Chain A
Amino acid sequence: MSMVSRMTRLAVVGAAAAFASIAPALADKDAETFVAGILVEANSVFEAPDLATRNAGVEALVDKYVDMNRVAKFALGQYVRQASEAQMAAYLPLFRTYATSVYQSTLDPYTGEALEVVDSVDRSERDFIVNSQVVGAKPGSEYADLVVHWRVYRAADGKQSIVDAGASGVWLAIEQQSTFKSVIANNGGGAAGIDALIADLKTKVGE
Chain B
Amino acid sequence: MVSGVLPKAFLALALCGLMADGAAAQGVVGGVTDADAPVAQSDIDSALASTGSSEIADPWEGFNRKMFAVNNTLDKALLVPAAKGYRAVTPKSGRRGIRRFLANLRAPGVFVNDILQGEFGRAGETLSRFVVNSTIGAGGFADPAAQIGISSHSEDFGQTLAVWGVDSGPYIFLPLVGPSTGRDGFGAVVNLGFNPLLYVRTDAASLARYSTAGVGGVSAREQFLDPLAEIEAKSLDYYASFRSFYTQARKREIANGKVDYSDLPDIGEFEEFDEIE
Contact = CB atoms under 8 A, between A and B. Distances in A.
18 contacts: A21-B258, A73-B48, A82-B38, A123-B264, A127-B266, A151-B264, A169-B248, A170-B248, A171-B264, A174-B248, A177-B51, A178-B51, A182-B30, A182-B32, A183-B237, A185-B33, A190-B37, A204-B236
A145 B273 contact: no
Interface residues of A, number: 57
A105 B234 contact: yes
A131 to B, nearest CB: 9
Contacts, number: 149
Given A178-B243, A183-B240, A170 B273 contact: no
A126 interface: yes
A201 B262 CA distance: 31
B27 interface: no
A204 B232 CA distance: 11
A32 interface: no
Nearest to B29: A181
Interface of A: 21, 24, 70-71, 73-74, 76-78, 80-82, 101-102, 105, 121, 123, 126-127, 129, 139-140, 144-145, 147, 149, 151, 153-154, 156, 163-164, 168-171, 173-175, 177-186, 188-190, 193, 197, 200-201, 204
A189 to B, nearest CB: 4
Contacts of B255: 169
Give the secondary structure class of A's interface. helix
A183 B32 CA distance: 9
Given A78-B49, A81-B48, A140-B143, A182 B248 contact: no
Contacts of A101: 234
A170 B239 CA distance: 16
Nearest to B41: A78
A148 B51 CA distance: 20
A184 B149 CA distance: 47
